[in-house]
Chain A
Amino acid sequence: MAAQDVTRAQESNKTSPLYDPRVRSIFFQVLLVLLLVLGIWWIVDNTIENLRRSNISTGFGFLRGRAGFDISTSLISYTSDSTYGRALLVGILNTLVVAITGIITATILGFLIGVARLSRNWLLRKIAMVYVEIFRNIPPLLVIFFWYLGVLAILPAPRDSIGLPFGSYLNSRGFYFPRFIWEQGAWLVLAGLAVGIVLTWFVARRAKVRQLATGQQFPVFWTGLGLIVGFPLLGFVLAGFPLTLEFPQAGTFNLTGGFNVKPEFLSLYLALSFYTAAFIAEIVRAGIMGVSKGQSEAASALGLHPGKVLRLVVIPQALRIIIPPLTSQYLNLTKNSSLAVAIGYPDLYAIGGTILNQTGQAIEIVVIFMVIYLSISLLTSLFMNWFNAKMALKER
């Protein structure tokens, strides 16, 4: 034994360091780092030289400069006298608005279509399939253009607006609907909502404790709905109906008053929702099909009725399969919102592009893009990971 070890040790000593994997790995990594450092040094050197030649200043000081351009859609107050930094903030908010509304609509639409694809009804199944196959296979930019140039741009001019229910109008300048104007005392409604939510939370907890202890169930859903709707209503009545509606009025050339959703936003929002919904539908379908049939059969055998089988057995398991790919679809939607630039919706990318044209500071703008898009991505995936962990199988 000992003799063998000795010979083996001698043998390994004899192998040349050329063939030692550790030596090789260190060598390659050092080589790579050297090449990388040289490359970066070359790039930085060239960049400095180029910037010096074209007289472009560096640094983020430009963010405090006067923007000088107008933005059509803005959530916060903005004029052309505001700073570049504020313009970028407007862009970030616009990106977030499109992303969030798009995600909500796409999720609802996607779940409906995904369930429809699994329906026993042949016609419904085929319609859902046609929808998915059409929208999965055309570029999102084309869908955006279709809504913007093909549908919304040829709507009638403001003077022949199409009247819709609830005093809203549709014309080539967008969608108009009544604006809510809250008067004094409106805080009572908000307070009522908060009280309702807190009470529902307590009721749900008590009901769960009681069910675990005694097995008796409590209609949490209806109670909660009553509390959450009832308290704000109570507040509304107590404060003396503090709400007036401002209806859009037809003027000679345009509609005045009311709340106006611009066609740029509408087409981006509709296109992104319709496009992403097709992908979400496929994810939902795969998720539900991934729950083995034995699960729902066993649930039925326990005497649960079909609605409860779906709610208590199938969906919780399907969600585990659905959530990770759903997260990446949400991220895709957020990133696709940068297509806004093609139709002139002022999102982060469009405003950044305008600023670049005015200041020429390409590197700073790209850094800002990277940081903001990466942090939106990271925040979304952190949230979805948290949700995923909450939904994950609890194994002992």
Chain B
Amino acid sequence: MQEHDMTWVRTEMALAEPPPRTEAGLVAWIRKNLFATPLDSLLTVFCALVVAWILPQILGWSIFNAVWTGTDRTACLTVDQGGSLPVGWSGACWAFVNAKFSQFMFGRYPIEERWRVILTAVIFVALLAPLLIPRAPYKRLNAILFFAVFPFVAFYLLVGGFFGLPYVETALWGGLLVTLVLSYVGIVVSLPLGIVLALGRRSKMPIIKLLCVIFIEAVRGVPLVTVLFMASFMLPLFVPPGMTFDKFLRALIGVALFASAYMAEVIRGGLQAIPKGQYEGADSLGLGYWQKMGLIVMPQALKLVIPGIVNTFIGMFKDTTLVLIISMFDLLGIVKQNLSDANWATPQTAKSGLVFAAIVFWLFCFGMSRYSIYMERRLDTGHRR
């Protein structure tokens, strides 16, 4: 055996060299992402200038120059307009939002009864939150409570009229309350109705298929305003004389029908994406139509189209603002109504009120879209790596 000379063999590892200066660190990142080419540099400078011009204006208007407290319009007027602020001042009049806040939330709901709305909201959140958190237990019970029991409880609490609660007519409802009730009912009604319509459209029975196609295409082809218009002017013509519909109920019917046509198309997309083998597999197991759809096809199809379903929800949430046109006061409607309050008439009132409404709508819609992305990732059991 030959003796190995170990003197030339290194016993400890060499330390890693730091990466080249041009490839790591802040400078490299800036070079790569902001100044890669001359055109890029030009764009960056231009964008930076735009941001530097707009951002201080937005921040100044909404925060630094804004008026937060005040009792009437003089708080938000400049000297030449009859107030006390310096000439040329431009800032948000949050005092207006502050003063009208409870109206924006509840509309003209009687003040001594507003605890009922708050209680309903608390129950709503308490039921919704565990439903949204995937790890929370008792999902089935929770879902039953949320979708089947809660509507009745909410109806009793909000409308009242029996068991000791005084009756509050829906004409007094308004603000965020109306927006949320319309969207909740729209969602709860449109999902099952959409599933039925989608199944009908893919059914082999020609008459059922034809009817579903006519309904879906007719509703999708016209604006929601027209559907609401129909619901508010034509429904009263369709029922026997003497029978009246609540205006709120008419709007609810309109929104729910409209949303279910869109929902049906989304779900149909999911149904079409399920391979034929799944249907045939279910048939060969001897499952009936409803078992096949309920146990095999629907769970897969609905999972596929979660983004589409949530998009429809977001669209519907935004569309509830249109009830303003049939003179009902949802959040946007009540903000707009309050803009004409002479007590608060300033050049900044309209902008402030509308920006406030925009922020509320944005928070809800953005929250829904983020949640759908989260759910999509969680449910993604595909074989992507």
Contacts and interface: CB of A to CB of B under 8 A. Distances in A.
B354 A137 contact: no
A138 B318 contact: yes
A153 B347 CA distance: 9
Interface string B43-84: 110011011000000000000000000000000000000000
B221 A373 contact: yes
A138 B361 contact: yes
Nearest to B346: A154
Interface string A145-165: 110011101100000000000
Contacts of A339: 225, 322, 325
A341 B225 CA distance: 9
A356 interface: yes
Interface band, chain B: 35 or more
Contacts of A151: 351
B357 interface: yes
Given A137-B361, A341-B225, A366-B226, A123 B34 contact: yes
Interface string A108-152: 000000000001111110010000011011111110011001110
B332 interface: yes
Interface in A23-48: 25, 28-29, 32-33, 36, 43, 46-47
Contacts of A245: none
A374 interface: yes
Interface stretch (B156-164, B166-174, B205-213): B205-213
A336 interface: yes
Contact of A121 (B47, B239, B318, B354): B47
- A151, A336, A338 — most chain B CB neighbours (10 Å): A338
B40 interface: yes
Contacts of A127: 47, 50-51
A121 B33 contact: yes
B184 to A, nearest CB: 17
B211 A374 contact: no
Contacts of B47: 121, 123-124, 127
Interface stretch (B105-113, B118-126, B128-136, B362-370): B362-370
A32 to B, nearest CB: 6
B44 A121 contact: yes
Contact of A36 (B51, B211, B239, B319): B211
A141 to B, nearest CB: 5
A153 B350 contact: yes
Interface in B227-283: 229-230, 233-234, 236-241
Interface in B317-345: 318-319, 321-322, 324-325, 332, 336, 339
Contacts of B319: 139
Given A121-B43, A363-B237, A349 B321 contact: no
A362 B237 contact: yes
A13 B205 CA distance: 23
Interface in B350-385: 350-351, 354-355, 357-358, 361-362, 365-366, 369
A373 B222 CA distance: 6
A46 B237 contact: yes
Contact of B33 (A122, A137, A140, A341): A122
B20 interface: no
B223 interface: yes
Nearest to B319: A139
B10 interface: no
Nearest to B225: A338
Contacts of B321: 139, 141-142
Contacts of A142: 321, 332, 354, 357-358, 361
A25 B204 contact: yes
Contacts of A124: 43-44, 47
B339 A336 contact: no
A181 interface: no
B208 A32 contact: yes
B211 A50 contact: no
Nearest to B362: A137
A146 B238 contact: no
A369 B358 contact: no
B334 to A, nearest CB: 13
B225 A50 contact: no
Main secondary structure of the interface of B (DSSP, over half): helix
A49 B336 contact: no
Given A149-B339, A370-B218, A374-B218, A138 B365 contact: yes
A28 B47 CA distance: 63
Contact of B325 (A46, A336, A342): A342
Nearest to B48: A123
Contacts of A50: 236-237, 241
Contact of B234 (A29, A133, A363): A363
Nearest to B203: A25
A82 interface: no
A241 to B, nearest CB: 38
B241 A338 contact: no
A46 B240 contact: yes
A39 to B, nearest CB: 10
A153 B225 CA distance: 25
B145 interface: no
Nearest to A335: B223
From A127, A136, A137, A149, residue with most partner B Cβ within 10 Å: A137
Contacts of B238: 43, 46-47
Nearest to B33: A122
Contacts of A342: 324-325
B36 interface: yes
A366 B232 CA distance: 11
B185 interface: no
Contacts of B51: 123, 127
Interface in A46-65: 46-47, 49-51, 53
Contacts of B369: 136-137
9 contacts: A29-B205, A121-B33, A121-B40, A137-B362, A137-B369, A142-B358, A153-B350, A349-B226, A366-B230
Which 10 A-B residue pairings sit nearest by Cβ, starting from the closest? A137-B365, A335-B223, A122-B33, A150-B351, A139-B318, A149-B350, A338-B223, A374-B221, A139-B321, A29-B207
Interface of B: 33-34, 36, 40, 43-44, 47-48, 50-51, 204-208, 211, 218, 221-226, 229-230, 233-234, 236-241, 314, 318-319, 321-322, 324-325, 332, 336, 339, 347, 350-351, 354-355, 357-358, 361-362, 365-366, 369
Given A28-B205, A121-B34, 10 more contacts: A29-B205, A33-B207, A120-B36, A138-B365, A139-B332, A141-B322, A146-B354, A149-B350, A338-B226, A366-B226
